[in-house]
C-alpha cells in the first residue's frame, strides 16, 4: 500500500511524472472516477484495468475547447460496458473540476487533484501543479456521490452529441481570442411525445403502478423462491399471473413476450433482478448494466420486455420498458447511442436520456419514466 504524497510541478523546462500517476490509476483501479473541464487529448495506449467494476468520466464543453477527436479516441478505447459512463456536462454551468479518484483491489483509495486538464499542453508545456495522495474510504465515498451528482446531469457522449457540438478554432486549452464564451449547441436527450389523451393515459398508468405496489410483496417473494432454487422456472412462470397482470393488474404492456419468454431460465433472471433490487442506490445503474449483459451473454429471452418491465415497475423514476412502441419512438427521434455499447449500456443510455428529458420538460404530463412509457404507447401504438 502506497501511503506517500507526491507533488508534481510541471513547466516547459521541467517535466513532471504526472503521467505515471494517471497510468497507475488506469491500470490498478477497481473503481475509477475522472472529471476534467476540458478534454483535448487522449492516449489510448494504456488499457483500463479489466477488473474495473465502476467507471465514470465526465468532461466539460464550455468555450468549445474539448476536441471531438479526443472524445472519439476515448469511445474507441473504453470497454463496451463502460461507454455509457463517458459523459459530457451538457446541462451544467460552471463545470471546472480537474481530478481523478480511484480505489484499488486492496481497498485503498487515491486522488489526483490539481490544475491539469486532460490536454497535451498540461503534460508537455504548461505550468501545472498537481498532487497525488491516498485518501480515506469515507472521502472516496464522498467523491463518488459528488461525481454521481454531476453524472446525473450529464449526457453520454455519442454520435448525435458530437454531430452538434461546435469546437472553438483555438486548440491546446486556451480560450477564444475574443474572450467571449462561444455558443455551443446543447442536445436535448430526446423529444418527448404529447399525443391527445396523454393526461388520461398517465392517470391510468398511475393506477397500474398502485396495483403493482399492492402485489409487490408476493411478486418479490416469488422471485426469491425462484432465485434460491426452491421452485422451478416453469412454476415461476405459471404463478406469475397471481401477482402480475390478469385479474390482479399491475402490468404495463400487452401480451407478447410470453411466446419466447416461456422457455426462459427464470432462475438466472431472478438472480439478476434481485441483485439490482438489492443493490445500493449508488451501485444500481452499474448493476443493471452488468446483469443485462450477463443475461444477454446467456441469451435469456426474457431479459428485454419482461425484465425491463419489472425494473420499470420497481423503479418507475429510473428505468424504461423495452417494447415495440418504444423502439418505434426511438427510431422516430433518431436515437443513437455510441457504437459498440454493450446491451446493458445501451439500456442505461436510454434511461439516462429519458431521465434528463423529463427534468427538462417539467410541463409534460408524465412525471416519471413509467408514466412516459404509456404516453409513448399512445403516440406509437403497437402494430
Q: Which domains does the chain have, with CATH numbers?
A: 6-164 (3.30.870.10), 198-379 (no CATH)
Dig out the grid coordinates for 301 from the structure. Answer: 429471452
Q: For all residues of the chain together, what is the average pLDDT?
A: 88
Task: Work out the average pLDDT over 206-211.
Answer: 97
Model confidence at 188, pLDDT cuts 50, 70, 90, reads: low
How far is 40 from 87, CA to CA, in rounded Å? 15
pTM of the predicted model as reported, rounded to 2 decimal places: 0.85
Packing angle, helices 369-379 and 198-227, rounded to 10:
120
Q: Specify the DSSP element, H or E, that contains 296.
A: helix 281-297
How far is 67 from 79, CA to CA, in rounded Å? 20
**pLDDT higher at 292 or 161:** 292
Task: Work out the average pLDDT over 178-196.
Answer: 61
Task: Work out the average pLDDT over 172-176.
Answer: 44
- Number of helices (H), then strands (E), belonging to the chain: the values are 14, 8
Model confidence at 337, pLDDT cuts 50, 70, 90, reads: confident
pLDDT exceeds cutoff 80 at 138: yes
Task: Work out the average pLDDT over 78-92.
Answer: 92
Dig out the grid coordinates for 95 from the structure. Answer: 463545470
Percent of the chain with pLDDT over 70: 91
Dig out the grid coordinates for 362 from the structure. Answer: 417539467
Dig out the grid coordinates for 158 from the structure. Answer: 455519442
Lowest mean pLDDT among 73-77, 167-171, 177-181: 177-181
List, for residues 34-56, the tens digit of each pLDDT value: 999 999 989 899 999 999 999 99
Residue 245 DSSP symbol: B
Q: Report pLDDT for 339.
A: 79
* Per-position b or e across 59-70, b if 16+ CB within 10 A of its CB: bbbbbbbbbeeb
- Among 134, 112, 135, smallest CA distance to 123 is for 112
Q: Residues near 46 by Cβ (< 8 Å), separated by ≥ 6?
A: 22, 23, 26, 27
Amino acid at each position: 500500500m502506497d501511503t506517500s504524497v507526491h507533488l508534481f510541478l510541471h513547466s516547459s523546462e521541467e517535466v513532471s511524472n504526472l503521467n505515471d500517476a494517471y497510468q497507475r490509476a488506469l491500470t490498478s483501479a477497481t473503481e475509477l472516477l475522472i472529471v476534467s473541464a476540458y478534454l483535448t487529448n487522449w492516449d489510448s495506449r494504456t488499457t483500463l484495468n479489466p477488473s474495473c467494476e465502476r467507471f465514470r468520466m465526465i468532461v466539460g464543453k464550455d468555450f468549445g475547447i474539448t476536441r471531438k477527436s479526443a472524445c472519439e479516441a476515448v469511445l474507441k478505447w473504453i470497454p463496451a460496458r463502460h461507454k455509457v459512463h463517458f459523459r459530457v456536462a451538457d446541462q451544467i454551468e460552471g463545470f471546472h473540476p480537474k481530478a481523478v479518484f480511484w480505489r484499488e483491489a486492496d481497498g485503498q483509495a487515491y486522488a489526483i487533484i490539481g490544475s491539469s486538464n486532460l490536454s497535451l499542453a498540461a503534460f508537455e508545456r504548461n505550468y501545472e501543479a498537481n498532487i497525488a495522495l491516498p485518501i480515506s474510504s469515507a472521502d472516496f465515498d464522498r467523491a463518488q456521490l459528488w461525481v454521481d451528482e454531476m453524472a446525473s446531469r450529464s449526457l453520454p457522449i455519442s454520435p448525435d452529441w458530437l454531430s452538434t457540438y461546435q469546437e472553438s478554432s483555438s486548440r491546446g486549452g486556451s480560450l477564444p481570442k475574443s474572450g467571449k464564451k462561444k455558443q455551443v449547441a446543447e442536445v436535448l436527450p430526446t423529444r418527448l411525445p404529447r399525443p391527445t389523451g396523454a393526461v388520461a393515459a398517465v392517470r391510468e398508468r398511475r393506477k397500474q403502478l398502485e396495483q403493482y405496489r399492492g402485489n409487490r410483496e408476493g411478486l418479490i417473494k416469488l422471485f426469491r423462491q425462484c432465485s434460491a432454487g426452491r421452485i422451478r422456472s416453469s412454476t415461476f412462470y405459471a404463478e406469475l399471473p397471481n401477482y402480475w397482470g390478469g385479474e390482479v393488474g399491475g402490468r404495463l404492456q400487452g401480451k407478447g413476450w410470453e411466446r419466447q419468454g416461456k422457455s426462459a431460465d427464470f432462475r438466472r433472471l431472478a438472480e439478476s433482478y434481485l441483485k439490482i433490487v438489492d443493490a445500493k442506490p449508488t451501485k444500481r445503474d452499474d448493476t443493471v448494466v452488468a446483469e443485462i449483459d450477463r443475461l444477454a451473454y446467456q441469451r435469456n429471452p426474457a431479459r428485454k420486455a419482461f425484465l425491463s418491465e419489472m425494473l420499470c415497475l420497481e423503479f418507475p423514476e429510473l428505468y424504461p420498458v423495452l417494447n415495440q412502441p418504444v423502439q418505434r419512438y426511438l427510431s422516430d427521434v433518431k436515437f443513437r447511442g455510441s457504437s459498440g455499447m454493450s446491451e446493458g449500456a445501451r439500456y442505461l443510455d436510454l434511461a439516462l436520456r429519458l431521465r434528463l428529458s423529463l427534468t427538462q420538460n417539467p410541463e409534460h404530463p408524465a412525471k416519471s419514466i413509467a408514466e412516459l412509457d404509456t404516453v409513448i404507447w399512445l403516440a406509437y401504438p403497437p402494430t
